[in-house]
Structure 1
Amino acid sequence: MVIPTERLDFPALAAGDGPVVVCWHGFPDHPLSFAPLAERLVAAGHRVIAPFLRGHHPTTFDQLPFADGLTLAADAAAVNAALSPDPLDVIGHDIGAGIAGRLAAIWPERVRRVITMSVPPPAALRTIFDDPAQQQRFFYLWMFQVPRVAESLLNDTLLTYLWRTWSPGLEVPAYVRNAYADPALRSNSLKLYRANFDRTLHDPALAPLAEVSERPAPIPMLVLAGADDGCITPDSYADAATGLAPGSRVDIVPGAGHFLQLDRPDEVAALALDWLR
């Protein structure tokens, strides 16, 4: 399906009928990684819609002039508004977790229940770079800042390493390999990471929202992390409560890595359905 919004027409995967759950993916990933979770949510009576991030589908490759977190959060708000006049449930994984957290912080009227996976809430990320071991795990983030080096090293070998390291025992799905074979997608993925430091990739029209976006969202959130995550380890969530509203919860999923919706879909679906109820 395609979701027309005032900002962009967003290609999305969709299944089921019932209350809508919007799922936002991360890097290096694809909306199809939500399929096992979506199957279980659909069986429980939900409609699951998983949009492609701006710039991550062939029809939007040329629509990423800005790549900052506020741009992606504004996209999510526009998608929710286009899908329903009522607040919608939102699940975000990896980069999608930041999208969901900032959406809830800036536009809480657009969301009903929020679940984030594999990244602490934005308001609790201020100290994550204080840990040298975490800086080492984030080697790719620093490497992506180097022109030409990043473009040459963001390849199938790196994808394999990241997936196997982040979710031990998990192989890169063919749909991810096929998607990242396109140089345009790789270039746009790098843009998202370069926007962490390059202010020219920030939309100046959204700049006033930055003051709100990194504060705790005013609504409770369920934060899920994999016990075996090799990208952001469980100890990184020790202070997550400081970035969450009262009533929020942080659950560490045993036996799950970074891609916990693929590693442990039954457990993640059970936690998600309980929270959405």
Structure 2
Amino acid sequence: MFEEIVVGTERGDVPALAAGDGPVVVCWHGFPDHPASFGPLAERLVAAGRRVVAPFLRGHHPSTVGELPFGDGLTLAVDAAAVNSALGGAVDVIGHDIGAGVAGRLAAIRPDLVRRVITMSVPPPATLGRIFAEPAQQQRFFYLFVFQVAGVGEALLNDKLIDYLWRTWSPALEVPDYVTAMYADPAIRANALKLYRANFDRSLHDPALTDLAKLSEKPAEVPMLVLAGADDGCITPDNYAGAATGLAPGSRVEIVAGGGHFLQLDSTDEVAALALDWLS
């Protein structure tokens, strides 16, 4: 149902998948994933009269693989601000996985550019750091730590790992062919590693955004709907227990029964109903 478009922004051209007409909902994907995973959710949003625009994260499309000098989450959030501005200003935003961090940081640094915000499968940025205190969660994050080792990360990030992560995080799903095809590109795999290495390597943070960093990790002023899968094999529901402290008044945390990590695919109807209610 999607067509590929290019959103021209002040930070460069952003390739995206788009469908429908009406008020815009921007959907940001995560790892290891692709904007096309929003397809089933987009069908429901489009049927409700919305236009869905699902951009590729910087460095995750053949046209932008050479445009990721920095991999910090703030860089991606500023990209998202530029996309919203180009699409008309304050629009609705949905973010999944890494995209959830994009949406949360965008709401923190540019609340004027968002209307309603939904994040999926990752706690809010202001509370995300707490999950590293739990050994069991650190074990589930094994890939994140292995990715930090030069050479080892490159060797590990392959089809077998991506298949393992999908089967572990959302056992009812198989890796879509479009995801396999995306990560077959060594340049895209290298950029995915850069995003993870930027969690610990400050040299991968854009120094021009230093002042914004003071805002990006604080609770956003914009109320958010935070969705988590009850059966998520990546970040388990107990990690959302303190999420309210990182959310604005009026926010909600919903645990989707039977949902895995890729909620937009394995719990599409439930997520669509929650999203349409929140966005309305």
Quickly name the TM-score band, shorter chain normalised: over 0.9
Distance 2:199 2:130 in 1: 15
Aligned 1:185-224 pairs, distance under 5 A:
185-224=188-227
- The Cα shift of 1:127 comes to 1.1
Residue 9, structure 1, aligned to residue 16, structure 2: no
TM-score between both structures, scaled by the size of structure 2: 0.98
- The Cα shift of 1:217 comes to 0.4
Q: 1:90 aligns with which of 90, 93, 107?
A: 93
Residue 146, structure 1, aligned to residue 149, structure 2: yes
Residue 22, structure 1, aligned to residue 26, structure 2: yes
Distance 1:207 1:138 in 2: 27
Aligned 1:255-270 pairs, distance under 5 A:
255-270=258-273
- The Cα shift of 1:117 comes to 0.2
- The Cα shift of 1:124 comes to 1.0
Distance 1:67 1:169 in 2: 31
Distance 1:104 1:148 in 2: 35
Distance 1:126 1:167 in 2: 23
* Runs of 4+ with >6 A deviation: none
| Residue identity in the other structure for 1:168 | P
Gaps of 5+ in 1: none
Residue 48, structure 1, aligned to residue 56, structure 2: no
- The Cα shift of 1:115 comes to 0.1
Q: CA offsets per residue over residues 181-203 of structure 1, 9 Å max, x none?
A: 11011000000000001111100
- The Cα shift of 1:219 comes to 1.1
* Alpha-carbon RMSD: 0.5
Residue 117, structure 1, aligned to residue 120, structure 2: yes
Q: 2:62 aligns with which of 38, 41, 58?
A: 58
* Residue in structure 2 matched with residue 69 of structure 1 by the alignment: 73
Aligned identity (percent) is 78
Give the SS at the match of 1:162.
helix
- The Cα shift of 1:6 comes to 1.0
